[in-house]
Amino acid sequence: MRIPENISQETYCQLWLTANQQRFTKSYSVANIPIIVYQQVFCPSTELTHSTSFLLTKLPDLSEKVVLDLGTGSGILALYSVFQGARKVVACDIDPVAIANCKENIARHQVDNICVYQGYLFEALPANSKLFDVIIANLPILEGGWDYLTINIKKLYDDFLSQVHFYLKTNGQCYLSFASFGDYQTLSGLDTSPLYWHLHQAYRFGCYWQVFEATKT
């Protein structure tokens, strides 16, 4: 299913939920990287969403960087980071199906510098984990779209925003995606975060797609 461009935000959400329920495991190409996306894993195809593709346009030079990809899903952002020269990437997701999907895509590309861990946000990281140059978080936005998520989305974002600065190196950068169809109370943690967040926006599918960017000083 391809979602049409000239629609309202409400229609987009309805069509996305329908497409997400009806799609099957399928191969896609995102940022010229071929991947397979399992049926219940978030699909980053530009035919269905603008969150991943817009986020990719805002990422910095990743050469020799150590990158954390939270909510990795199919692993597309982790793979993109490696192909952009990242020295090491850590990919995490709470969903075991997403972890399996990510590992399959890594194996398909024969990449050996991505470590994959299952768990909730930063709890997934091993105890001896180092600080990161770049943290990417493409987390769920629409409440009720994911059966595996057992907490509400506001708590997910509150937990992320209250902890992310602990895992960034000095001058490290964080990129968090969101969209106008999300509940903006979800982002209340931005106001109390020790990081200063700069907003980027793009319009597509009747929605404003957003990337919040911060640098630890």
Question: Which pLDDT value is given to residue 145?
Answer: 65
Q: 76-83 and 96-109 are packed helices; what angle lies between their axes, rounded to 10 degrees?
A: 30
Domain that holds residue 211: 9-215
Domain annotation covers residue 168:
yes
Say whether pTM exceeds 0.75. Answer: yes
Summarised one tens digit per residue, pLDDT across range 79-128 is 999 999 999 999 999 999 999 999 999 999 999 999 999 999 999 999 88
- Can you tell me the distance from the alpha carbon of 8 to that of 87, in angstroms, rounded to the nearest whole number? 41
Would you say residue 172 lies in a domain? yes
CATH number at residue 69: 3.40.50.150
Taking each helix axis from N to C end, the angle separating 76-83 and 51-58, rounded to the nearest 10 degrees, works out to 30
Residue 81 lies in a domain: yes
Looking at the structure of the chain, the number of domains it has is 1
Residue 1 lies in a domain: no
Burial class (CB in 10 A: 0-12, 13-18, 19+), 83: middle
Is residue 118 a part of any domain in this protein? yes
Q: What is the pLDDT along the chain (217 residues), one digit of tens a residue?
A: 789 999 999 999 999 999 988 899 999 999 999 999 999 899 999 999 999 999 999 999 999 999 999 999 999 999 999 999 999 999 999 999 999 999 999 999 999 999 999 999 999 999 888 899 999 999 999 877 677 777 889 999 999 999 999 999 999 999 999 999 999 999 999 999 999 999 999 999 999 999 999 999 9
